[in-house]
Amino acid sequence: DAGVTQSPTHLIKTRGQQVTLRCSPKSGHDTVSWYQQALGQGPQFIFQYYEEEERQRGNFPDRFSGHQFPNYSSELNVNALLLGDSALYLCASSPTGLDTEAFFGQGTRLTVV
Amino acid sequence: GENVEQHPSTLSVQEGDSAVIKCTYSDSASNYFPWYKQELGKGPQLIIDIRSNVGEKKDQRIAVTLNKTAKHFSLHITETQPEDSAVYFCAARSGRDDKIIFGKGTRLHILP
């Protein structure tokens, strides 16, 4: 089992550009959540996808959007990048249910210059 | 809103001694409390978790305790080893939704 995989591992973008990050969940998991982790901080919840729909959303602007595909993989899109969007973006997957473990990928390090 | 406070932010202990990290949560509907270890350049790794119907759970050198009345939970690492050096995060998940709220982390240094 490959666990949760994310791509790319590192990315450098210019302010104002758009970026797409990708996540493949752990085998058997159908729920994907995205988190933003600024340097020296804990992960902050962005949103969660289940059955190809956004189920929960944290306090992030509409510039952050996502998608889930029928195979449960997911994308995170960020438009009009700001310098403050520089962070480690983490994907976590879990099986259906509110009482289940969440497993994280290694993250995508996004640097906005 | 939901909040998880974690202390201390940095902790240094002698190899072989015990380390304790404490957290409090605000959402009384929280019913699942995972702990994650994050090493440099990696994603958080789940090391132990506890559910609200249990007061204590142990896995080898790691134990977690939960006091629902006080909304406190703690991580205890005994017989610390150099490979325990990392950043540790506590977290809480509400029974209302599936969001996991994280503390700000504790950087644990194991001194030789």
30-49 in chain A: CB under 8 A from chain B: 31, 33, 40-45, 48
- Whether residue A102 and residue B104 make contact (CB cut-off 8 A), yes or no, is no
B contacts of A4 (beta carbons < 8 Å): 43
B contacts of A44 (beta carbons < 8 Å): 102
The mean pLDDT of B87-108, rounded to a whole number, is: 90
Q: Is A98 on the interface with B (CB under 8 A)?
A: yes
- Greatest mean pLDDT among A47-51, A96-100, B27-31, B50-54: A47-51
| Chain B residue whose CA is closest to A41 | B104
State the count of interchain CB pairs (< 8 A) between A and B.
61
Residue with tokens 């969440």: A102
E strands, chain B, are 4-7, 10-14, 19-25, 30-38, 45-51, 56-59, 62-67, 72-77, 86-94, 100-102, 106-111
Q: pLDDT class for B53, splitting at 50, 70, 90?
A: confident
- Whether residue A102 and residue B34 make contact (CB cut-off 8 A), yes or no, is yes
Q: In terms of residues, how long is chain B?
A: 112
Residue with tokens 């990392």: B86
Give the per-residue pLDDT at B91: 96
pLDDT per residue, tens digit, chain A (113 aa), is 679 999 999 999 999 999 999 999 999 899 999 999 999 899 999 999 999 999 889 999 999 999 999 999 999 999 999 999 999 999 999 987 656 788 999 999 999 99
Report which of A96, A104, A112 is spatially closest to residue A35, judged by C-alpha positions: A104
Compute the distance between CA of residue A73 and CA of residue A30 in angstroms, rounded to an integer: 8
The answer on pLDDT for B12 being more than 90 is yes
